[in-house]
Amino acid sequence: MDDTRAARILALVRAIPSGFVQTYGDIDPRAPRLVGHVLAATKLKVPWHRVVRADGSMTQGHVQLERLRKEGVPLRGKRVDLSAARLPRDITLGMTRKRKTTR
C-alpha cells in the first residue's frame, strides 16, 4: 500500500525508539534529500532529532545533541556514536519488510 516513500519515511521516523537514532541514508539511501524535505513538509510531528546525518552529526543544531543524550543515545564527542546508536533496519523493516527499488 501505500504509499510513497514519503509515507514510509514518516513511519520509520516515528518508529525510532528513544535511545536510538537513524541516518537519513538508512531511511532512504536513494533519496536522503527527500527525507529531509518530507520531514519538513509533513504536518505530523515526528522526532527529527532522532534522525541524524550519515556522519552522526545533525543539521539542526548541537542543542539537539543534548536532547539525544538525554534520550540515552551514546554520543561520541560532537557526533552521535552511530556504531551503537544506529537502529538496525532489520527491526524497523521487520514489521513491514519493505523493499526499495532493486539494488
Q: Binding to DNA by residue 6, rule CB under 7 A?
A: yes
Q: Within positions 27 to 86, which residues make up the interface with DNA, using CB under 7 A?
A: 29-42, 48, 51, 53-55, 59-60
Find the part of the chain contacting DNA (CB under 7 A) among 1-9, 62-70, 91-99.
1-9
Instruction: Tell me how far, at minimum, the Cβ of 69 lies from DNA, in Å.
Output: 19
Strands (E), the chain: 22-23, 51-52, 75-76, 79-80
CB under 8 Å to 100, separation ≥6 — which residues? 5, 28, 29, 30
3-state secondary structure of 32: helix
Instruction: Report the interface residues with DNA, using CB under 7 A.
Output: 4-6, 23-25, 29-42, 48, 51, 53-55, 59-60, 101
